[in-house]
Amino acid sequence: MLAKIEKAENQYIARFERHLKHSVHDVWSYLTENEKLAKWFPELSVDELREGGIIKFDMRNGTFLEMTITELKMHAVLEYTWGETIVRFELSEESSGCQLVLVEKISKITDHTPRDLAGWHVCLDVVEALLAGTTIESRREEWNKWYEKYVEAVNKVVN
């Protein structure tokens, strides 16, 4: 399901919701444990898991973008800066597993925004597949499938 995108006061909010048949603990481990994080987002690594701690993005050129953890509630909330945006993961228990919500707070819509949103969409699909013990054969094909839908969704909000 496509993320819900809306304009807020001086930013845009993209909200992805997934209902997973896995425990909060299992899903949290994919967000915070480097070994599991690398399976769905190999450029990311958690340097210090604490408020004010650092998550690193490997630029693959010998440099790293450091993102600051702005809120952390173990097994419930992980929020960090990502350039001018904020990325927030929220987990809550449900009777058949847990709900995973990814909120991206976007300060300015650019041509790159639909690319990022399609990327997050596929990342969440990959996490879901990994939890189920499967894989997604071609992330690029999946991304291509969602990219145009996010271009349309962003244009509806902006125009």
Task: Give the residue-averaged pLDDT of 20-47.
Answer: 97
pLDDT at 139 over 90: yes
The model's pLDDT over 92-138, given as tens digits with 9 standing for 90+, comes to: 999 999 999 999 999 999 999 999 999 999 999 999 999 999 999 99
User: Helix axis angle, 139-158 relative to 113-131, nearest 10°?
Assistant: 130
Q: How far apart are CA 56 and CA 88, in angstroms?
A: 15
Q: CA Rg, the chain, in Å? A: 15
The model's pLDDT over 61-103, given as tens digits with 9 standing for 90+, comes to: 999 999 999 999 999 999 999 999 999 999 999 999 999 999 9
The model's confidence at residue 27, banded by pLDDT at 50, 70 and 90, is very high
The model's pLDDT over 39-55, given as tens digits with 9 standing for 90+, comes to: 999 999 999 999 999 99
Q: According to the model, what pLDDT value does residue 159 have?
A: 78
Q: Which of 28, 136, 131, 30 is nearest to 75 (CA)?
A: 28
Q: Which of 102, 58, 64, 111 is nearest to 80 (CA)?
A: 102
86 near 71, Cβ under 8 Å? no
Q: According to the model, what pLDDT value does residue 75 have?
A: 98
